[in-house]
């Protein structure tokens, strides 16, 4: 199937790869379907593109690449709603807020995107944890991209 | 919005498995107890709003920045 995007033009995607956010994400509750697109092979950044809104896309990164001690327990509500049965089927990403420079850019460690890779159900989880910031500085040194 | 008046110690049930208890009222602050199954998320409004604002800020606005990221 083909979808329209503002940044990559019209692209062909595999419909079985579409991620289903049952309740959208905070601020975008009506956006239930997204697709994860690789920016390029070596990049640690990916694009989370809305299926229905061509201008809606986010940059995602793998938080473990930025913060070595990043870890959290997935709460029961998330396990249940995403039907997660096994740790190995879970993928975790963080939303990057890109500013004019990388040094001013931030990454949201407080509310990661959790994906069940088996059934493509996904959710932005708000962690009950004071160690992780919503706007964690994306320091240049730590970006290996 | 449904608005109910409650006194300390009084409760409200939402559906069959969520109970809200008004546990303390002190000046402008109200302490609320929530008894709910663990599969129901409870999040403070301002935190959800902050996540929502952060998501709005993070929407990609320029392809130039994206191209720079590729380097």
- How confident is the model over B21-48, as pLDDT tens digits? 999 999 999 999 999 998 888 999 999 9
Q: What is the pLDDT of residue A143?
A: 47
Is A22 a member of any domain? yes
Burial (Cβ within 10 Å: 0-12, 13-18, ≥19) of residue A145: middle
Place of tokens 């998501």: B55
Q: Does residue A144 lie within any of the structural domains?
A: no
Query: What is residue A69's predicted lDDT score, i.e. its pLDDT?
Result: 86
> In angstroms, rounded to a whole number, what is the distance separating the alpha carbons of residues B20 and B36?
9
| Residue A104 within a domain | yes
Q: Is residue A19 part of a domain?
A: yes
* ipTM confidence: 0.91
Number of separate helices (H) and strands (E) present in chain B = 2, 3
pLDDT tens for chain A, 145 residues: list them. 999 998 888 999 999 999 999 999 999 999 999 999 988 777 888 999 999 999 999 999 999 888 888 999 999 999 999 999 999 999 999 999 988 888 889 999 999 999 999 999 999 999 988 889 999 998 755 444 4
> Which burial class, exposed, middle or buried, applies to A105 when counting CB atoms under 10 A from its CB (0-12, 13-18, 19+)?
buried
A27 vs B contacts (CB less than 8 Å): 51-53, 55-56
**Domain with A28 in it: what CATH number?**
2.30.290.10
pLDDT of A41 reads 76
Cα separation, A108 vs B58, whole angstroms: 9
* Number of folded domains that form chain A: 1
CB-based contact A7 B60, cutoff 8 Å: yes
Q: Is A133 on the interface with B (CB under 8 A)?
A: no
Range of the domain at A113: 2-137
B41 touches chain A (CB under 8 A): yes
A30/A9 Cα distance (integer angstroms): 23
């Amino acid at each position: 199937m083909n979808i329209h995007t503002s940044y990559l033009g019209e692209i062909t995607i595999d419909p079985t790869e579409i991620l289903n956010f049952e309740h959208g994400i905070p601020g975008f509750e009506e956006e239930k379907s997204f697709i994860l697109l690789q920016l390029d092979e070596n990049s640690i950044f990916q694009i989370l593109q809305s299926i229905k809104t061509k201008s809606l896309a986010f940059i995602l990164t793998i938080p473990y690449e930025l913060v070595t001690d990043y870890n959290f327990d997935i709460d029961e509500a998330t396990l249940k709603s995403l039907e997660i049965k096994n740790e190995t089927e879970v993928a975790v990403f963080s939303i990057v807020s890109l500013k004019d420079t990388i040094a001013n850019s931030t990454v949201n460690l407080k509310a990661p995107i959790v994906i069940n890779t088996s059934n493509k159900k996904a959710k932005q989880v708000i962690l009950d944890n004071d160690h992780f910031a919503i706007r964690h500085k994306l320091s240049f040194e730590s970006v290996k991209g | 919005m449904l608005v109910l008046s409650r006194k300390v110690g009084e409760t409200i049930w939402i559906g069959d498995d969520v109970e809200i208890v008004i546990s303390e009222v002190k000046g402008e602050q109200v302490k609320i107890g929530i008894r709910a199954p663990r599969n129901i998320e409870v999040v403070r409004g301002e935190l959800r709003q902050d996540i929502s604002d952060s998501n709005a800020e993070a929407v990609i606005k320029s392809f130039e920045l994206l191209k720079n990221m590729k380097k």
